[in-house]
Amino acid sequence: MTPAPVSPAAPRVAPVWLARYRAVRAQSQALCAPLLPEDTVVQPMLDVSPPKWHLAHTTWFWETFLLTEYAPGYQLFHPDYAYLFNSYYNSLGSRVNRADRGTLSRPALADVLAYRAHVDAALTQLLTERRDLPPVFFELLELGLQHEQQHQELLATDIKYILSTSPLAPAYIGEELAEVRVSSEELRVDSADALAPTLNSSLLTSNSKAASWLPVPGGVHRIGFQESGFCFDNELAAHDVLLAPFELQNRLVTNAEFQAFIEAGGYRDFRYWMGEGWDLAQAQGWEAPLYWMRHADGWHRFTHHGLQAVRPDAPVTHISFYEADAYANWAGARLPTEAEWETAARHFGATTSAGTWLESNLFDPQPLPADADPAQCHQLLGDCWEWTYSAYHAYPGYARAAGALGEYNGKFMVNQLVLRGGSCATPENHIRVSYRNFFHADKRWQFTGIRLAR
């Protein structure tokens, strides 16, 4: 997820800010606590950054945008770190090629943690001692917190990908699931056998009720950020849209439903697919969501808990837009636009399920409770990012910020698609009805899912 700045924040009470700052910073490190130093270095694909890099880049953000500007006499931790840990800001000079992030063993994790401590000390001192910090400083402080939280979601999904590449399928969380572990040898199924009839018999038995269709009235609706508090600049300006009446399913598509698509040959029938998606799926041999693999006992998938059987009633996740769209075509439905999604979310009064994100997080979207009300719209916020059929473009009246932060969001506003709703890996205050996430149509390593419209 590539982030985007702005919007003022209210009373400037330093102790409150300090507490938030400390909590966010601690959470980034807590996410890496289960890792070995080796895990923090590697970059198994271009979209994934090494955890060590995330820890350092978020720190560089504080150093570059706040400390060098507002902390008199601040000493850079190291003169080369700006080169090493700038992500994509052309305004701020040259930087390590993105594809090379995983070739740098140094600075070591310990050095990066020392860098974090250095910056934390300086920022703590600044917040504690200075009384004359200007409003723009607090706007940047807010942005820095939001930015670091966005990287927390990336940390969660990048760690999953990193651990998945080992045939050992190591678990990020807990040991209690170790019994599902099997030798990777056992898991290898010849592709020739991969679609054999016997496997069909392992079709997942679902306990879910069929999804119900909920109507949303047409007419002029207002979308975009309209509340108080922080938002990113890409949620502005709020504006009216004209919609025809439509219906939305009351829950996300489940693994069992998606398996029916697989078993019906959905991955082998071009008629359901966008042309570029079909070509990619053929070239890469897709036949199921990312992380799924066939096992003699049925489908398994890699999770933060290691290798597990696919749970039929949980939402399907780790699919590209192409797969979401093909599924919708196969199912005789379609994906909603982002205006439809936001209008529906507002119409149904979507709220996040409470719960502290990190402490209890399973990093695994959960099934709908058996007694969920079919007349209600569920799983809108905090389960899976829902692909919409809307390109990620600027809203009417959008303007890029001046300076380096103008690169935060605006330059990505073409060739990507909007996702809505937040996932199980999204920090809580990044989930709101107006929040716009965006990825290219082929991306699968985020917690992405499907909601049908018609």
- Closest C-alpha among 290, 322, 325, 264 to residue 452: 325
DSSP letter assigned to residue 208: P
105 binds a second copy per the rule CB under 8 A: yes
141 binds a second copy per the rule CB under 8 A: no
412 binds a second copy per the rule CB under 8 A: yes
We find the least distance from the C-beta atom of residue 186 to a second copy, in angstroms, to be 9
Which of 92, 114, 214, 274 is close enough to bind a second copy by CB under 8 A?
Answer: 274
34 binds a second copy per the rule CB under 8 A: no
438 binds a second copy per the rule CB under 8 A: no
63 binds a second copy per the rule CB under 8 A: no
d(CA 41, CA 384): 27
38 binds a second copy per the rule CB under 8 A: yes
We find the least distance from the C-beta atom of residue 150 to a second copy, in angstroms, to be 17
107 binds a second copy per the rule CB under 8 A: yes
d(CA 118, CA 113): 9
Toward a second copy, which CB reaches closer, 137 or 392? 392
Residue 1 identity (one-letter amino acid): M
**54: CB partners within 8 A, 6+ apart:** 28, 151, 154, 155, 158
We find the least distance from the C-beta atom of residue 24 to a second copy, in angstroms, to be 25
103 binds a second copy per the rule CB under 8 A: yes
- 77, two tokens: 């931790």
Per the CB < 8 A criterion, the answer to whether 151 and 57 are in contact is yes
**102: CB partners within 8 A, 6+ apart:** 41, 42, 43, 44, 50
Toward a second copy, which CB reaches closer, 11 or 79? 79
The interface region with a second copy, picked from 55-63, 108-116, 256-264, 444-452 by CB under 8 A, is: 108-116
**276: CB partners within 8 A, 6+ apart:** 322, 441
DSSP 131-148: S---HHHHHHHHHHHHHH
Which of 163, 333, 377, 450 is close enough to bind a second copy by CB under 8 A?
Answer: 163
162 binds a second copy per the rule CB under 8 A: yes
In three-state form (DSSP H/G/I as H, E/B as E, the rest C), the secondary structure along 22-50 is HHHHHHHHHHHCCCCHHHHCCCCCCCCCC
For β-strands 385-391 and 448-449, DSSP reports them as parallel
220 binds a second copy per the rule CB under 8 A: yes
Binding mask 172-211 for a second copy (x = CB under 8 A): -----------xxx--------------------------
Count of residues of this chain found to bind a second copy when the rule CB under 8 A is applied? 69
Per the CB < 8 A criterion, the answer to whether 437 and 419 are in contact is yes
Toward a second copy, which CB reaches closer, 128 or 183? 183
d(CA 407, CA 88): 8
57 binds a second copy per the rule CB under 8 A: no
Measure the CA dihedral 111/114/119/125, to 10°. Answer: -160
Toward a second copy, which CB reaches closer, 100 or 371? 100
Toward a second copy, which CB reaches closer, 244 or 354? 244
- Closest C-alpha among 385, 364, 383 to residue 302: 364
We find the least distance from the C-beta atom of residue 103 to a second copy, in angstroms, to be 4
Toward a second copy, which CB reaches closer, 166 or 228? 166
Binding mask 364-403 for a second copy (x = CB under 8 A): -------------------------xxx-xx-x-------
- Closest C-alpha among 178, 187, 181 to residue 292: 187
83 binds a second copy per the rule CB under 8 A: yes
**What residue ranges bind a second copy (CB under 8 A)?**
36-44, 52, 78-80, 83-84, 88, 90-91, 100, 102-110, 162-163, 165-168, 170, 183-185, 220, 239-242, 244, 270-271, 273-278, 321, 325, 389-391, 393-394, 396, 406-407, 411-415, 417, 441
